[in-house]
Amino acid sequence: MESAIRVRALRKTYQGTVAVDGVDLDVPRGEIFALLGPNGAGKTTTVEILEGYRKRDSGDVSVLGADPGTATARDRVGIVLQGTGEFDELTVGEVVRHFARFYPRPDDPVAVIERVGLKDKARARTHTLSGGQKRRLDVALGIIGRPELLFLDEPTTGFDPEARREFWQLIRELRTGGTTIVLTTHYLEEAEALADRVGVIARGRLIAVDSPARLGHRESAEATVSWRTAEGAPASTRTATPTRVVSELAAEFGGEVPALTVSRPSLEDVYLEMIGDVA
């Protein structure tokens, strides 16, 4: 099947600063792909080249089968930028209806406003919205054109935990409807909750691409088994065979092992180790 995104040997420099240094990437249709990386790693530059907002120095880029520089895919792509749009005196409903007119087959503005959780604010002027509500409006404008591919640059910055969960649900629904989604985020739990695959970018290079569960060989990494001894003291051991350690402990205790936990490195652990290696 055709990739939604295909990138080969992408490079971009700004006055001698190398922002993107030879990135290859394929995102299949229907995938949620998260791009992770520290500040200044080159995420926004990469994504804005894919969106057609910035010009590359060299490399091949195909977005929905077209070169984003030539913008033939524009109607089929939805974009939520990092910065929030300012619409002053216009209401939420007016802004969403206005943007709907830019697209050949827009979604229903009322339904979109409800989906992003702004139904109660449809008549509110946009300058009265909270930071999280403005971000929801940005998302509404990103999806009003029924995009086949949606770019989200740090979409949930400023969201409270409940709003973030609701947003994740919305993204999953879009994926179920067939939308391919590329997002950048600094929230590792967001990447873990949403992404089919994550790419880690550091100093302009894509240093790893894998599912959140497998990134940095997490699944097979040494586990830490912790418990409390018969005397009540905390104990722990690192092991490549946690199942064996737990069954030995179970035999020793003759049943339940007090305060037993088995943990492997978190996505954050492997991510920090990866970017630390590059720094």
Per CB under 6 A, residues contacting ligand ATP are 14, 17, 19, 37, 39-45
The CA distances from residue 243 to 2, 168, 199, 219, 248, in Å, are 42, 33, 30, 14, 9
Q: State in angstroms the smallest separation of the CB of 182 from ligand ATP.
A: 13
In which residue are the tokens 């909750």 written? Answer: 193
Report the run of H or E that residue 156 belongs to, with start and end: none
Strands 180-184 and 149-153, bridge-based pairing: parallel
Pick between residue 12 and residue 164 the one whose CB is nearest to ligand ATP: 12
Asked if 47 and 212 count as a contact pair (C-beta separation under 8 A), the reply is no
Q: Which of 114, 80, 78, 109 is nearest to 96 (CA)?
A: 109
Q: Which of 65, 68, 53 is nearest to 4 (CA)?
A: 65
Pick between residue 20 and residue 113 the one whose CB is nearest to ligand ATP: 20
Pick between residue 44 and residue 179 the one whose CB is nearest to ligand ATP: 44
Q: State in angstroms the smallest separation of the CB of 200 from ligand ATP.
A: 11
Q: State in angstroms the smallest separation of the CB of 43 from ligand ATP.
A: 3
State both tokens at 244: 């064996």
Pick between residue 205 and residue 214 the one whose CB is nearest to ligand ATP: 205
Pick between residue 41 and residue 191 the one whose CB is nearest to ligand ATP: 41
Q: State in angstroms the smallest separation of the CB of 40 from ligand ATP.
A: 4
Q: State in angstroms the smallest separation of the CB of 50 from ligand ATP.
A: 12
Q: At what angle do helices 131-143 and 161-176 cross, to 10 degrees?
A: 10
Instruction: Show the DSSP H helices in the chain as ranges.
Output: 43-51, 92-100, 109-115, 131-143, 161-176, 188-194, 242-253, 267-278
Asked if 140 and 118 count as a contact pair (C-beta separation under 8 A), the reply is yes
Give the three-state DSSP class for 168.
Answer: helix
Q: State in angstroms the smallest separation of the CB of 163 from ligand ATP.
A: 21
Pick between residue 201 and residue 223 the one whose CB is nearest to ligand ATP: 201
